[in-house]
Structure 1
Amino acid sequence: MIFAEKLKKERKERGWSQEELAEKLFVSRQSVSKWENGQNYPSIEIIIKLSDLFGVTIDELLRSDEDLTEKVIKDSRQLAYPRLKVFFDCLFLIGSAMLIIKLSILGLNHFTELEFPLRGSFFWNFGPLFLMLGGAIFSDTLKKKYKNE
Structure 2
Amino acid sequence: MDFSEQLKTIRKERGLTQEQLANELMVSRQAISNWENNKNLPDLEMVVRISKLFHLSRDELILGGNEMTHMAEKLIHDGKETRRAKLNLISISIGAVLLLMGIGCLVIKSLSVEYIDAQGVLHENFFLLPIGFLFIFSSLMTFIGVGFNNLRVKYQMK
Task: Report the TM range for the smaller structure's normalisation.
Answer: 0.7 to 0.9
TM-score by length of structure 2 reads: 0.74
Q: State the aligned residue count.
A: 145
Q: Which residue of 2 aligns with 1:17?
A: 17
Moved more, 47-56 or 122-131: 122-131
Give 1:88's aligned residue.
Answer: 91
Is the 1:81–1:142 Cα contact (8 Å) retained in structure 2? no
Distance across 1 between alignment mates of 2:149 and 2:21:
39
Partner of 1:8: 8
Structure 1 unaligned regions, length at least 5: none
Work out whether 1:34 is the aligned partner of 2:34. Answer: yes
8 Å Cα contact 1:92/1:132 also seen in 2:
yes
Q: C-alpha displacement at 1:140, in angstroms?
A: 3.4
Give the C-alpha shift of residue 141 in structure 1.
5.4
Of the three residues 92, 96, 101, the one matched with 1:98 is 101
**CA 1:143–1:118 in 2, change beyond 3 Å: closer, same or farther?**
farther
1:139 aligns with 146
Give, in whole Å, the separation in 2 of the partners of 1:45 and 1:142.
29
Instruction: Identify if the C-alpha distance between structure 1 residues 145 and 73 changes in structure 2 by more than 3 Å, giving closer, same or farther.
Output: farther
Q: Relative to structure 1, is the Cα distance of residues 102 and 136 closer, same or farther in structure 2, using a 3 angstrom cutoff?
A: same
Match 1:66 to one of 54, 62, 69: 69
Structure index of larger Rg: 2
TM-score, structure 1 normalization: 0.78
Q: Partners of 2:20 and 2:114 in 1: how far apart?
A: 73
Contact 2:3 2:70 in 1 (8 A): no
Counterpart check, 1:78 vs 2:85: no
Give SS of 1:48's match.
Answer: helix
Structure 2 residues not aligned, in runs of 5+:
116-122
